[in-house]
Amino acid sequence: MNTRTKTAAAVAALVVALGAGYGIARITAASPAGEAAEEDHHEEEGGAPGVVTLTLAEAQAAGIRIVSVQSGGGGETRLAGRVEAAPDAQAAVGAALGGRIERLLVAPGSVVRTGQPIAIVVSGDGAALRADADAAAAEARAASAARTRDVNLFDQGVVARQEVEASQARAAAAEAQARATRARVAAAGGPNASGRATIVTPISGVVTALRVGLGGVVQQGDPVATISNPNRVELVFNAPAALAATVRPGAPLTVRGADGAEYSAVVTAVAPGADAQSGSTLIRARASGVAPPPGSAVSGSVITGGGAGGLSVPAEAVQTVDGASVVFVATPTGFRAQPVVPGRQAGDQIEIVRGLTGSERIAGANAFLLKAELGKGAVEHED
């Protein structure tokens, strides 16, 4: 087959490929002169085994996705775990001061929001506390007025500096006492002058139990109600002890429920030696979105063993050409097949041990089309 015939055949093959919807490439070098130019281009590109000439528009039309090389490598470790209520998902609400339950504002099963009142208690201690706060506030106002008066008299030369300094110290002490009594009133539920204080829920959720009845008497610290938030759950995994050195908070987790549904999660805490008998590591994580209900059994996979200088690419980006593993690096004129040494696979990512610097942009999804185009070009050259 002469050069003109081979060129016509290559153009016809490209037209057929475009008509099939692939939008794929033009192989460089169909003539001896072109082969020499391709060899020179290969040398400039670092000795790559093949080049596919392709515009960005053609790559997009063919469904080829160009992605960046990711930092991090490593392997995948599978874990067994369960879904538990988060530590802040349940609250045992107690009485901040002793007294009589005058009103109950919720019942078991009621849905409540953070800060919502659940009961009102009448307390003699609360009335005394409010009186102390009012007296401290009055004392602070009087001390402040005395300080202002002494400062004015000092400016007129009527009183000595020592008297001004003493009044300033008394005002500061009175203000501190007033702040302290206001804080005690707030901690006790803000009782008014009659001693009525409101007990509020610290979290949003559902009232699961009431520990008191209307008209009942409670002492300071007695339980009043239990609030639970069923949406606040954590994923808890028992892991080998060695995993504590490689997994850190913030690491991503892929979680699969018993029904086969897949969830994304992030590690929130790692507790080495949590199990005294086995010395195993406890890993806690929170789902990024909806999570299985509490009590469910789950399995998870976490990426481990990645080094700070590791690189990884999508698994579909690595193709085998002439028995060698390559990725297709994007160039201004198309793609260059770059030989690489792949490492461990973690999920849909493959670690790259050697062959990339990390700054490349490569073909990810549908990279096999570029491999097929190289194979087609090899057959045309043989013809």
State the average pLDDT over residues 202-221: 91
Pick the more confident residue, 324 or 375: 324
Neighbours of 283 (CB within 10 A): 26
DSSP β-bridge partners for residue 303:
76
The CATH class, in words, for 90-228 is mainly beta
27 — pLDDT class (breaks 50, 70, 90): very low
Return the CA Rg of the chain.
37
Place of tokens 């299985």: 292
d(CA 238, CA 226): 29
Span 364-378, pLDDT tens digits: 888 888 888 877 655
Residue of 68, 69, 37 whose CA lies nearest to 53: 37
The separation between CA 1 and the C-alpha centre of its own chain, rounded to angstroms, equals 61
How confident is the model at residue 264, as a pLDDT? Answer: 79
**Which one is predicted more confidently, 51 or 136?**
136
Q: How confident is the model at residue 343 (pLDDT cuts 50, 70, 90)?
A: confident
Least confident segment among 25-39, 71-85, 90-104: 25-39
Strands 196-200, 117-122: pairing kind? antiparallel
Choice between 183 and 352, residue whose per-residue pLDDT is larger: 183
Contact status, residue 278 vs residue 299, Cβ threshold 8 Å: no
Q: What is the DSSP track for 339-378? A: E-EEEEEETTEEEEEES--S--EEE-TTTHHHHHHHHHHH
User: Do the domains spanning 3-73+309-382 and 77-87+231-304 agree at the CATH topology level?
Assistant: no
For residue 236, CA distances in Å to 106, 204, 243, 268, 369 come to 32, 23, 14, 10, 42
Q: Which residue has the higher pLDDT, 70 or 130?
A: 130
> What distance in Å separates the CA atoms of residue 190 and residue 184, rounded to the nearest whole number?
9
Tally helices (H) and strands (E) across the chain. 6, 25
Given a cut of 50, is residue 24 above it in pLDDT? no
Which helix (H) or strand (E) segment is 187 a member of?
helix 161-187
Q: What is the pLDDT of residue 191?
A: 92
Pick the range with the lowest mean pLDDT from 65-74, 256-265, 289-298, 333-342.
65-74
* Element containing residue 20 per DSSP (H, E): none
User: 72, 120, 75, 85: which is closest to 100 by C-alpha?
Assistant: 120
Instruction: Say what the pLDDT of residue 47 is.
Output: 40
Q: Where in the chain are the domains?
A: 3-73+309-382, 77-87+231-304, 90-228
Choose between 244 and 64: higher pLDDT: 64
d(CA 242, CA 231): 32
The 8-class DSSP code of residue 150 comes to H
Buried b (16+ CB within 10 A) or exposed e, 351-379: bbeebbeeebebbbebbebbbbbbebbee
Which is more confident, 8 or 225?
A: 225
Asked whether the beta carbons of 194 and 127 are under 8 A apart, the reply is yes
CATH of domain 77-87+231-304: 2.40.30.170
> What is the helix (H) or strand (E) element at residue 234, kind and residue range?
strand 233-239
Instruction: Please state the length of the chain.
Output: 383
What is the Cα–Cα distance from 174 to 159, expressed in whole angstroms? 22
The CATH-assigned architecture of domain 3-73+309-382 is Beta Barrel (2.40)
Residue 37 phi, psi (nearest 5): -65, -40
- Report residue 121 as tokens: 């208690």
Could you tell me if 380 and 35 are in contact, meaning their C-beta atoms sit under 8 angstroms apart? Answer: no
Question: How many whole angstroms separate alpha carbon 273 and alpha carbon 239?
Answer: 10
What CA–CA distance (Å, rounded) separates 32 from 53? Answer: 18
Q: With a threshold of 0.75, does the pTM exceed it?
A: no
